[in-house]
Amino acid sequence: MIMRIPLSAPDIEELEVERVAEVLRSGRLSLGPKLVEFERALSTYVGVRHGVAVNSGTSGLHLAVRALGLGPGDEVITTPFSFIAPANAILYERATPVFVDIDLATLNIDPEKIEEAVTSKTRTILVIHTFGRPAPMSSIMEIARSHKLSVIEDACEALGAEAGGRKVGGIGDVGIFAFYPNKQITTGEGGMVVTDDPARAARVRSQRNQGRGQPPSWFEHEELGFNYRLPEMSCALGLSQLERLESILERREGVARAYHQRLLGERDLLLPEIEIGNDRISWFVYVVRLSDRFCGGDRDWIVSRLQERGIGCARYFAPIHLQPFYREMFGYRPGAFPVAEHVAERTLVLPFYNRITDAEISEVCQTLLELIDIRRKAVMSG
């Protein structure tokens, strides 16, 4: 179904088209200079020494798990309120994801629950900066240090976010970014692993390219690797987008504020915080939550009616532990993580992208408020 107002849309300028075309004309389409430039530019922006570009955020998560040497018998603490890729990356290496519940206000992982979940098998905490809001990294790093655990930061939704004056992704042992078309910047498909550890960076770099050694051992495959390379065209696009990242982040914050202003008076709608002290949100999406008056069926009705009117809308997120595969593999049942489940039944994401117009934002908000009022009357009438 094609939406008049889409859920997301990439922001591509003519200069970026030309820079991609220059790469196509060069004849160097893979493992070329743009790859190196993009890796250096993004790692410098984040404040770490090494960046390794890969073909998706999921690939980056997988290689991060491998770079930390995780495997069978190792437990990785993470959140069930997320896109499924981080948990899957743990399973790729036959380690065990250990879910803990989220904080109701921030929707990020709850540090107190992390502490309670640590066992003798725990090796790593996989933090997700949900919807671009930085997780409480000072508390998480303190827990990690006290238990001698490594920390992976899934910053795929959070490029440019800051926690404690530092860019997220560069605080833990390894960070991952993603550049899918709905992200703050895009390379089409693509991702980046960042770290200060040269050995981990070298291993990720080798494994993204079939486990090859570095020249002169180019035709020697030192260990099992993968084809996770990011093409030169994508790197050229990423470089150009990165040059205007700050203006993109400011525009996206403006969109969030516009939504906030128009929806603030609705008593049955919980809005995300706009200001979070000295930390910085990098607005990936604008997610609202229906009040406890409503249930999942009400939310789904509203989503369906918005879509019928040509307005992109979706539920974010379906809890990972209740996905069919995870229920079958681990035996999870509803009630295992009540906060995540409660939130997941009531959240919906509104159209959010750099070039959305004020008129489109107004239409989305007006339609949403009308539908909430209709549903509220239906609920109250029984």
Distance CA 191, CA 197 (A): 18
Distances (CA, A) of 160 to 172, 182, 237, 248, 256: 15, 15, 18, 10, 15
Q: Which residues contact 224 (CB under 8 A, 6 or more apart)?
A: 207, 211
The answer to whether 133 and 276 have CB atoms below 8 angstroms apart is yes
Nearest to 90 by CA among 324, 315, 330, 345: 330
How many C-beta atoms surround the C-beta of residue 344 within 10 A?
Answer: 23
Distance CA 42, CA 44 (A): 5
* Parallel, antiparallel or unpaired: strands 166-167 and 75-78: unpaired
Residue with tokens 């250990």: 98
Distance CA 121, CA 75 (A): 6
Q: Where are the beta strands (DSSP E) in 129-183?
A: 150-154, 162-163, 166-167, 174-178
As to burial, measured by CB atoms within 10 angstroms (0-12 exposed, 13-18 middle, 19+ buried), residue 59 is buried
As to burial, measured by CB atoms within 10 angstroms (0-12 exposed, 13-18 middle, 19+ buried), residue 38 is buried
DSSP bridge partners of 177: 192
The answer to whether 193 and 212 have CB atoms below 8 angstroms apart is no
Query: Is 183 among the catalytic positions?
Result: yes
* Run of H or E including 350: strand 347-350
Catalytic residue among 34, 113, 121, 183: 183
Distance CA 329, CA 217 (A): 41
The answer to whether 240 and 15 have CB atoms below 8 angstroms apart is yes
Give me the active site residues, please. 183
